[in-house]
Amino acid sequence: MIAEAVRSIRGQLPEGVRLLAVSKFNPPEAIREAYDAGQRLFGESQAQELRAKHELLPDDIEWHFIGHLQTNKIKYIAPYVSLIHSVDTPRLLAEISRHGVRCGRRIPCLLQLHVAREETKYGFLPRELDEYLAGGEWRTLEGVELRGLMCMASNVSDEGQIAREFQSAADFFRHCRRTYFATQPSFCECSWGMSGDWPVAVRHGSTLVRVGSLIFGERIYQ
């Protein structure tokens, strides 16, 4: 079932859009099934869980971090994490950079944009992010590389609203790329779309969909 879901979603993605299989709370055996179906990108939302799975599973897996990251947990994933999707403050980016320098690498990061209506979601407001990027301090951070933006749409059934939120993220991404990253083609990633809204996300600029329950089934939180 896991293998079928992975193949089915991958088969529906247009060229240039990748699937991140969100494996949080799922056991290594489930990840292994997706791996055997050819999946190599996996996303986790807790640093220690990511580390444990990284130690157990094949080396050619790209591990992505997608959850809220506390600065005291960066150390668990800094040496090998392929992409941190959820950078939501300047301070967190600076701390990740410190760890990157210590590990001798530039850690790829996405800046999390807040476009949803809900107040509880993390992330920069577009105006805040614009001010931060205009400030230019991020250019001095030698242990990170900014690869693009991440966002989550509101958890609503109104597809029109979800589409508008993703489209505003896509428009803002284009603005950032043109204004701040014109000479940096590696700023190219738009991480949006989850199990419930990935097809909408793909129609509105996503290059990386983060799909969990559609692949692994409903999560059991303990």
Contact letters (x/-) for ligand PLP, 30-69, by CB under 6 A?
---------------x--------------------xx--
Give the integer Cα–Cα distance in Å for 67 and 190: 16
20 Cβ contact list (under 8 Å, min separation 6): 41, 42, 43, 64, 66, 191, 208, 209, 210, 211
Give the integer Cα–Cα distance in Å for 110 and 87: 6
Q: Using CB under 6 A, which of the segments 27-35, 132-140, 161-169, 206-214 binds ligand PLP? A: 206-214
Contacts 24+ apart (CB under 8 A), 71-75: 71/95, 73/47, 73/48, 74/47, 74/99, 75/99
- Closest approach, Cβ 215 to ligand PLP, in A, equals 8
Task: Assess 154 for contact with ligand PLP (CB under 6 A).
Answer: no
Q: Using CB under 6 A, which of the segments 5-13, 72-80, 168-176, 192-200 binds ligand PLP? A: 192-200
**219 with 29: CB under 8 angstroms?**
no
Contact letters (x/-) for ligand PLP, 79-118, by CB under 6 A?
----------------------------------------
Task: Assess 195 for contact with ligand PLP (CB under 6 A).
Answer: yes
Of 119, 116, 122, the residue nearest 92 (C-alpha):
122
- If the CB atoms of residues 59 and 221 are measured against ligand PLP, the closer one turns out to be 221
What is the DSSP secondary structure assignment for residue 73, as one 8-state letter?
G
Give the integer Cα–Cα distance in Å for 211 and 198: 8
Where does 141-182 show beta strands of DSSP type E? 144-151
SS3 content of the chain, % helix, strand, coil (to 5): 45, 20, 40
- If the CB atoms of residues 82 and 213 are measured against ligand PLP, the closer one turns out to be 213
- If the CB atoms of residues 74 and 180 are measured against ligand PLP, the closer one turns out to be 74
Contact letters (x/-) for ligand PLP, 3-32, by CB under 6 A?
-------------------x-x--------
Give the integer Cα–Cα distance in Å for 23 and 41: 10
- Closest approach, Cβ 192 to ligand PLP, in A, equals 9
- Closest approach, Cβ 185 to ligand PLP, in A, equals 25
Q: Name the residues that contact ligand PLP, by CB under 6 A.
A: 22, 24, 45, 66-67, 152, 194-196, 210-214
